Structure 1
Amino acid sequence: MDYKIAFFDIDGTLVNDEKKIPQDTIEAIAEVRRRGVEPVIATGRAPYFFERLAQQLAIDSYVSLNGGYVVYQGKPIYQHPIPRADVEALVKLSTEHCHSLVFEGSSAFYANSEIDPSVQTSVQSLKVDLPGYDPDYWTKEDIYQIFLHCEETDEHLYQEHIPGLRYIRWHKSAMDVLPADSSKAIGINAMLRLLDLSPKESIAFGDGLNDKEMLAAVGLGIAMGNAHQDLIPYANYVTTHVDHGGILNGLKYAQIL
C-alpha cells in the first residue's frame, strides 16, 4: 500500500519512559518526510504539552487532546470541546467525592485545587509544568479534556453517571475525561477528509488504551512492543519496544522505509 500519512502517539511511542525521543526515531521521522509521507502527532496531550517535541521533529500537524483539537500545518481544522453542561456536572460530582480536576483548554490548563499531591504526581510524570489554579476556568474557555484524579477503585463513582463523558485511565491516580463521542480516530478522520485521503492511505502507531480507535481506524495500525496488552487486539502488527527501534521497525514493516 502506498501510504500518504502517518500518525504517531507520543508517550510510550515517540518518547520512552524518560520522555526522550530515541535517536533512531528522530532519524526515521525525518526520512519518512523525505519520502513524501506526512508525519502527524496524535496524542491525548494538549498542544502546550508537546511544543518542544513537535519542534524537535519539525512536525506542525497534530491530533491533540484525544481528538478534540486538530491542527494541520499550524492551523486549527477541527474542534470538539466538552459540552459545558457535562463539565458542570463533573465539577459537581467530583466535588462531592473530593477528587481534583485539571481543566485543559486549547492554550492553557488549570486545576481546581491549589495543593493536591495526586495532581502534582500525575502531571509531573508528563515532564511538563504544573497547572495554574483557577477553579472557574471551565466557565471562561472551551474545555477539551479534563484530568480527573481518582484511584481505579473509585472509577465506579463516575462511569455511566454522566452519559456525555467517557473516561480513559492513563495514570494510577488520573483519568482523561473527554466527550463520549470523541477519540483520536474522530480527529484523524477530520484531517483525512481535509486532505482527501482514505483511511487505507494512513498508518498509526500507539501503545495506550486511548489508541484503540485510532489503530482500528487506519489502513495499518501498529502497536508498540511496550503497548498495553488490551491494545494488541486492535493492531494489525506489533513492532518492537520504543527503546529498541519500535518506530523504525514499524515503518520498515509498512514498507515506508
Structure 2
Amino acid sequence: MTHQSIIFFDIDGTLLNHDKELPLSTKESIFKLKELGHEVAIATGRAPFMFEDLRKELDIDTYVSYNGQYVVLKGKELYRNPLKISSLEKLTEVALHNNHPVVFMDHEDMKANVPEHTYIKESIATLKIGRFPAHDPHYYKGRELFQTLLFCPEGEEKQYEQEFYDFDFVRWHPVSVDVVPKGGSKAQGIKKVVESLGISEERQYAFGDGLNDMEMLTAIRNSVAMGNAEEIVKSVAKYVTKSVEDDGILHGLQMVGLL
C-alpha cells in the first residue's frame, strides 16, 4: 500500500476509558484502519502481560511497552533497553529505608520487594488487570528489567531524581512512579518501529493523554491529544480530539483524515 500510515495508541485514558473499558466506536475504528491497510500499534507504559487481552481483542501484534523499553514488531522482539542493575540495587536500598516499596518488572512478570503494601494495592488496582505482584526481593538478579515501579507520595520522588542519574522518573499515579532508563521514552521505542518499517514522518500518527505521552506527542508529526488529557499534554500535540468517553478516537481519526 503506497499510502500506508502507522498509528500508535496509548492505552489508559486513550484506548480505554476511566473504567478500563474499550468503547465500541474505538474498537470499530481500529478494525477500519486495518481494513484500509494501515499499521496499528500500541505505545504504553504498561508491561506486555498487562495488555495481552487487549492485543488479542484488537488483533494488534506491534507494540511499544514499558514507555519504550521493550518493543515488539509484528509479534517479534525488536528492541530491549534494560535498567542498569547496579543503580537499581542502590535505589532499592534507599527506597526500603524510606519505606517506599518497589516492584521489579521484566517482559514476563512483576515482583515486589516487600510482602505487601497499601500503595502497591491502591495503584495496581486502578489498572484492573486482575493480578498483583508476588513477593520476590531478589527478582532483579540475573535478568533484564525494563521498568521498576517506585511507590511514594507526590513530590517524594525528587530525592531519587537528584541521586539516581541513570533513571527517569515518570509519575502515573498519586502514589506510584515509573522508573525507566535515562532518556528512554515511547518516542525512542516508536523510532525503532518506524525505522524498521520505513514509514515516513508524514505517515506517522500518535494518540495519547498522559505525561508519559509527551515525548511521543512532541516527536510524532501528526500527534493527537485526548480531550481528557491535562492541558500541558494538549499543549505539545498538533491536534486535540474529544475525550475517550465521547468517541475521542473516532473523532480524532476523522479529524486527521484517516477515517
Same fold (TM over 0.5): yes
- What is the aligned partner in structure 2 of residue 174 from structure 1? 176
Q: TM-score, normalised by structure 2?
A: 0.97
Q: CA deviation at 1:51?
A: 0.3
- What is the aligned partner in structure 1 of residue 238 from structure 2? 236
CA-to-partner distance for each residue in 1:44-99, whole Å, 9 max, x for gaps? 00000000011111111100000000001110000101111221121122122110
Paired residue secondary structure (1:178)? strand
Q: TM-score, normalised by structure 1?
A: 0.97
- What is the aligned partner in structure 2 of residue 48 from structure 1? 49
**Does the C-alpha gap of structure 1 residues 222 and 3 become closer, same or farther in structure 2, counting only changes over 3 Å?**
farther
Report matched runs for 1:11-50 at 5 Å. 11-50=12-51
1:35 alignment partner AA: L
Contact 1:3 1:256 in 2 (8 A): no
1:218 alignment partner AA: I
% of aligned pairs identical? Answer: 40
Q: CA deviation at 1:230?
A: 1.6
Contact 1:10 1:42 in 2 (8 A): yes
Cα distance in 1 for partners of 2:157, 2:104 equals: 18
Q: CA deviation at 1:245?
A: 0.9
- What is the aligned partner in structure 2 of residue 76 from structure 1? 77
Paired residue secondary structure (1:190)? helix
Report matched runs for 1:77-226 at 5 Å. 77-128=78-129, 129-226=131-228
Structure 1 segments unaligned to the other structure (5+ residues) = none
Structure 2 segments unaligned to the other structure (5+ residues) = none
- Report the RMSD for the aligned CA atoms in angstroms: 1.0
Q: CA deviation at 1:198?
A: 2.6
Q: CA deviation at 1:155?
A: 2.0
Contact 1:3 1:202 in 2 (8 A): no
Cα distance in 2 for partners of 1:89, 1:199 equals: 40
Contact 2:27 2:58 in 1 (8 A): yes
Q: CA deviation at 1:3?
A: 5.6
Contact 2:9 2:208 in 1 (8 A): yes
Contact 1:204 1:222 in 2 (8 A): yes
Cα distance in 1 for partners of 2:56, 2:30 equals: 12
Cα distance in 2 for partners of 1:200, 1:84 equals: 38
Q: CA deviation at 1:200?
A: 2.5
Number of residues of Structure 1 aligned to a counterpart in Structure 2: 256
Contact 2:4 2:39 in 1 (8 A): no
Paired residue secondary structure (2:228)? coil
Cα distance in 1 for partners of 2:159, 2:236 equals: 28
Contact 1:199 1:217 in 2 (8 A): no
CA-to-partner distance for each residue in 1:18-43, whole Å, 9 max, x for gaps? 10100000000000001111110000
